[in-house]
Amino acid sequence: MNLHRLGAIVSKELRQLRRDRMTLGMVIGIPVLQLLLFGFAINMDVRRLPAAIADESATSASRAIVQDLLATEVIQQVATARTADELVELLRQGRISVGIAIPHDFERRRGEGRELIQVMVDGSDSVVQSAARQLAQLPILQAQTGGSQMAAPISVLSFYNPERRSPVNIVPGLIGVILTLTMVLFTSIAIVRERERGNMELLITTPVTSAELMIGKVLPYIGLGLIQTSVVLLLGVWIFAVPIRGSVLDVYLSALLLIAANLSLGLLISTQARTQFQAMQMTFFVFLPSILLSGFMFPFAGMPAFAQWIAQLLPLTHFIRLIRGVMLRGASLGELMPSVLALLVFTTIMMALAILKFRKRLD
């Protein structure tokens, strides 16, 4: 390893980056856009679902139930219906997502302890469906069944995110998602582009070693990754008041671990891809499972064992454990050693493979 040559590669890379407006724009643009998208647009708390209520019994008890339901704000009455059939019609037309039918024999059913109310749901949206199912579990409905079947009200206590605001869950993980997408993509493309443009053929006829070339390529991107981390953190704290309960240093160390893991993966991809398009495809091959299986979108514990096994191989899974631990639960990296080690092992293996696979030859 010759530091002189390494320096030449790093400074060349920085110059090229400075002139590559597109990439620089993406470095800042992707985090900002994704943060705003996930923070505002993607809201997992379902509120004000369009609904209609057909109260065929029209008694004081049924009207009380309707008022209670509307008071939850999970649904919002947007249309009126007289019969259950009309509700079905409205559902099919897509004018409502939830229909609530109260049968005319409501009072008698109440006395017999039979089914009281039917909640019709537009099942084509799974989030709506689960929200409506929760609606059916509401204690107010159970209270109305009265008598011996009075169920104990179930209270849900939420730690760490008591207001159940999505951004608090999403922003820390989003750092990881953005780093996974951009770091893997940038490095793999940076090297494949040199191969496509013929630069590589020239470089490998010089005394530059594989390690110098790989490390020199990667170093500038570490800086970019840290900039992206800072952008997401700042916006997250300013706009969405996301807490950082652990130490900021631990947050950045976690980010560094993920950056290193992703860059080494990007390098490995670059040794295999022949065109920039292939590099992009391979990146998405890793990116999609990362987003879906890492626990960023769906809880890790709820996944089948097979999916969990795959998720353990993804750097993002371990980073999400780290960053949620540090930012939301105030844990220190020392308490999260398994994930730290997993990222270090991943990086080492990928880097070794990349340097091994990179041949200073054309065949």
Partner 1 sequence: MSISGHGDASLAIRARGISRRFGSLLAVDRVDLDVPRAAVYGFLGPNGSGKSTTIRMLCGLLMPSAGTIEVLGLRVPEQAEQLKQRMGYMTQRFSLFEDLSIRENLNFMATVQGLDRTAARKRVAALIAQYHFGDRAGQLAGTLSGGQRQRLALACAVVHEPELLLLDEPTSAVDPESRRDFWEKLFDLADAGTTILVSSHYMDEAERCHRLAILDHGRLVADGTPAELSAALEGRALLVRSVAPRRLREIITADTGVVSVAQIGNELRVLTIPDYRGLAVLSAALRSIDAEAQVERVKPTLEDVFVAATQGRTPESRTPPQ
Find the binder of partner 1 among 1, 4, 163, 301 (CB under 8 A).
Answer: 4
Site residues for partner 1, 205-244, by CB under 8 A, read: 205-208
Give least dist CB 9 to partner 1, A. Answer: 8
DSSP string across 299-316: -GGGS-HHHHHHHHTSHH
Nearer to partner 1, 17 or 135 (CB): 17
Cβ-based nearer residue to partner 1, 16 or 308: 16
Does 12 bind partner 1 (CB under 8 A)? Our answer is yes
Question: Per DSSP, which regions of the chain are E strands?
Answer: 49-55, 75-80, 98-102, 118-121
Sheet with 98-102: list strands edge to edge: 75-80, 49-55, 98-102, 118-121
9, 90, 120, 343: which one binds partner 1 (CB under 8 A)? 9
Judged by CB, which is closer to partner 1: 6, or 178?
A: 6
- Whether the CA torsion 53, 56, 58, 64 is positive or negative: it is negative
- Tokens for 8, please give them: 């030449």
Verify binding: residue 21, partner 1, rule CB under 8 A: no
CA distances from 207 to 191, 214, 360 (A): 18, 14, 10
Q: Which stretch binds partner 1 (CB under 8 A): 7-15, 95-103, 174-182, 307-315?
A: 7-15
Q: How far is the CB of 228 from partner 1 (least distance, A)?
A: 22
Q: Quick one: which of 147, 162, 198, 304 contacts partner 1 (CB under 8 A)?
A: 198
Q: Exposure of 118 by Cβ count < 10 A (0-12 exposed, 13-18 middle, 19+ buried)?
A: middle
Q: How far is the CB of 289 from partner 1 (least distance, A)?
A: 34
Count the alpha carbons within 13 Å of 315 in the hemisphere toward its beta carbon. Answer: 32
Residue 132's nearest CA partner among 118, 144, 143, 115 is 118
Residue 173 CA neighbour count, 13 Å, CB half: 23
In a 10 Å sphere around its CB, with 0-12 CB exposed, 13-18 middle and 19+ buried, how is residue 93 labelled? Answer: exposed
Among 1, 19, 163, 305, binds partner 1 (CB under 8 A): 19
* Pick from 235, 248, 242, 265: nearest CA to 328: 242
Binding pattern for the stretch 137-166 against partner 1, x by CB under 8 A and - elsewhere = ------------------------------
| Least gap, CB of 7 to partner 1 (angstroms) | 7
Task: Report d(CA 50, CA 46) in Å as an integer.
Answer: 11
* 15-23, 146-154, 262-270, 313-321 -> range binding partner 1 (CB under 8 A): 15-23
Residue number with CB closer to partner 1 (19 or 305): 19
Check residue 361 for interaction with partner 1 (CB under 8 A): yes
Give whichever of 66 and 203 is closer to partner 1, judged by the CB atom.
Answer: 203
Is 201 a binding residue for partner 1 by CB under 8 A? The answer is yes
Residues that bind partner 1 (CB under 8 A): 2, 4-5, 7-9, 12, 15-16, 19-20, 197-199, 201-208, 360-363
